[in-house]
Amino acid sequence: MRQLSFFLVFVFSIVAGFLIARLLPSGPETPATETAPATGSPTTSTVVAPGLSSGDDTAEVQAAATTPVENLSLEEKMNRIEKLKLTASIENSIQTLELIASMSESELKGMLQEMGQRGMGSMSDWMMPYHVFTAWVEKNPQNAYSFLEEEANPMQQQMYTSSLFSAWAATDPDAALAAVEKIEDKQKRQQAYNAITMAIAGKDPNRAYNMLSSRDDTNSWQYQMVFMLWAGQDMDAAMAKVDAMESGEERTYALSGIISGMASKNINRAADYAVSLDNDQERERALQTVMSTWINQDIEGAMAFLSQMEEGETKNQVIQNSIWSLARSDPERAMELAQTQMTGRAQDNAISNVIRQIARQEPEKAAEMIANLPYGRVYSSSIRSIAREWGGEDPMAALSWVETLGDGEEKDRAYSSILSSFARNKPDEAKVYLQQMPEGDNRVDLAENIAQKMADNDPQEALFWAQSLQDEAAVERASHAAISKWASQDPQAVVNYLQTSGGESQLEEHAGTIADNWARTDVESAADWALGLEGAAQERAVEQVSREWLEHNTEEASIWIADLESGPARDSAVRNLVNQVYRSDPESAFAWATTIGDARNREYNSERVIREMKQEGKSNEARQAIQRSDLSDKEKENLLKKLD
């Protein structure tokens, strides 16, 4: 989560830094005093809130629309900004910036404090601190920084650091850098430095590059954005710089950035540059970047370029990473691209993906498209995709389509998938359809799926419904599904119900599931219940309880296991204990393994521990443990051979 937050902040600093570097003049400015702007200056313009027009005739509306911004209180300015945010337009954005520019230092500080208390509810809320800090930095960058350090809470510091240093770097980068060096927290310092670097890259990418290359804590991926901005300003200089870089992660990211920047301005030059790269991996990655832009900008030009490439893995890779986005916007062209420009398994994967994209929007159309496909990997995967998507939207239509398919595994799987989606998305309609179905596996499958869906909300009701069915096989499967779900949600409740309703056989059948979930909340009660069972049910329950208890408190669990009576249940618990400790305490694990009653399990677990001890250089300890154990002479002999 911290990495994700840091990445989002970094992306914001990139955008903010670039914008501010473009919009603000460079060079330090003298801090402004908190005097009202002169009449007639840009900050004294009249701002009309959205929704107010010259036709409004109330005195209140006219006053609000004509009051000069310098005469408004901070509260009135913020209220007007909130109104302007309701309608997105260039005019409203300009008026918002004028309002912020008119504020004094104390007002800018008050606005930041108010936003910090209110929180961020929209994208405009995230951008607003950037505008506020831009205005404050123009007036007095040191005071703005002092506010960030001394008065903002940790969350505000994380959000505002990039805004402040982006703005500061655009007006006085040297002062901003000097302030960064005084930040003690490594993450905050890195965040501020990133913001400054990207702000500088918007005007002087060569200096930004030198800043990155001069530091030991630079992340290689930061070069990508610097070179993307560089390519937009001076493509030849950016190319010369990246050509001089040594192979490695930094050059890889720099190439990615320059190709992205170049592709946005001159796609043909970007393609030629990518082809000219000598390193095979660099060339392939560069072509992938070019193609992802080209295919979405000019599909005809992209296909003409691809038609000149040699068939093979490189061409497939170049197309494969781009066709996914094309499949969402223009699936027909994506299908044409895959069929005419790709080969082998890569072609199969691409066509399958296109069919899947079409099935999400137009499953009927996808079904028509696969009618002409040859039997094979693409056909099978496409059948599954259509069944899954169509079954979720219109299961009756999907079921009619399945009936048109030839008998075989694909038809059976599609039918099963549709029934599952039918029950999951439209359980009431599925119940009605169930009554019309003939007896057989499909009817049983649908009953089971319906019971599972019902049990999500009310497992007891699902069980009652399952037991009301007429088909014995459907009753069994649907009841099993309902009880399994119930046992995972409330194991004690299902135990009480089955004990009072005479469902002892079902109770034993679900003993493992019940014990597993019960032990997660009350391991001792689950253990007592497990020991009250008999036979295979007890073995399954004890195994689940012991596993959970061992992971929670190994010592307590081992005491409980030691008191168990000999038999399959104890053996299962001991196996879990050996598995838990054989690496951390192999001597104890071996002693436990030798107490397993079943000969095959005893042999397997004992050998496992001995092999671990040998691997860890404890062969002497292993021999001693074998010799003093109660194992038979033959078992000891076999184990000692493992140490030779």
What are the tens digits of pLDDT across the range 348-380?
A: 999 998 999 889 889 999 999 888 888 899 999
Tokens 């073995």 belong to residue? 539
pLDDT band per the 50, 70, 90 thresholds, residue 121: low
pLDDT higher than 90, residue 612: yes
* High-pLDDT (> 90) share of the chain, %: 45
pLDDT band per the 50, 70, 90 thresholds, residue 320: confident
The whole-number pLDDT of residue 7 equals 36
Q: Any idea how long the chain is?
A: 644
Query: pLDDT, tens digit, for every residue of 149-170?
Result: 888 777 777 777 888 888 888 8
The CA dihedral of 593, 595, 600, 605, to the nearest 10 degrees, is: 0
What are phi and psi for residue 373, nearest 5 degrees? -80, 145
pLDDT higher than 50, residue 489: yes
Q: How far is CA 521 from the centre of its chain?
A: 29
Query: pLDDT, tens digit, for every residue of 40-60?
Result: 333 333 333 333 343 443 444
What are phi and psi for residue 407, nearest 5 degrees? -60, 145
Average pLDDT over residues 4-15: 38
Query: What crossing angle do the helices spanning 222-233 and 249-265 adopt, rounded to 10°?
Result: 40
The whole-number pLDDT of residue 578 equals 96
The whole-number pLDDT of residue 107 equals 92
Spatial separation of the C-alpha atoms in residues 126 and 130, rounded to whole Å: 8
Q: Which two tokens stand for residue 136?
A: 């404050």
> Cα separations (Å) of 118 from 123, 127, 425, 588?
14, 14, 39, 58
pLDDT higher than 90, residue 446: yes
Q: Which two tokens stand for residue 611?
A: 């092999």
Tell me the helices (H) and strands (E) count for the chain, helix number first: 39, 0
Most confident of 38-47, 495-504, 525-534: 525-534
| pTM, full prediction | 0.56
Average pLDDT over residues 309-326: 84
The whole-number pLDDT of residue 526 equals 94
Average pLDDT over residues 397-414: 91
> Cα separations (Å) of 383 from 376, 446, 513, 610, 629?
11, 19, 34, 51, 60
Average pLDDT over residues 116-141: 77
Query: What crossing angle do the helices spanning 511-521 and 472-489 adopt, rounded to 10°?
Result: 10
Average the pLDDT over each of 22-31, 462-471, 523-532, 634-643 and give the range with the smallest value: 22-31
Spatial separation of the C-alpha atoms in residues 165 and 204, rounded to whole Å: 16
The whole-number pLDDT of residue 23 equals 39
Q: Which two tokens stand for residue 545?
A: 């309880």
Tally of CB atoms within 10 A around 530: 26
Question: Which sign does the torsion angle of CA 123, 125, 126, 132 carry?
Answer: positive
**Residue-averaged pLDDT of the chain:** 84
The whole-number pLDDT of residue 40 equals 36
Q: How far is CA 515 from the centre of its chain?
A: 33
pLDDT higher than 90, residue 633: yes
Average the pLDDT over each of 40-54, 399-413, 455-469, 552-566 and give the range with the smallest value: 40-54
> Cα separations (Å) of 227 from 2, 223, 294, 428?
26, 6, 19, 58
The whole-number pLDDT of residue 188 equals 85
Most confident of 28-42, 108-122, 373-387, 543-557: 543-557
Query: pLDDT, tens digit, for every residue of 585-595?
Result: 999 999 999 99
The whole-number pLDDT of residue 142 equals 87
Residues sharing a CB contact under 8 Å with residue 94, sequence separation 6 or more, in sequence order: none
Average pLDDT over residues 592-620: 95
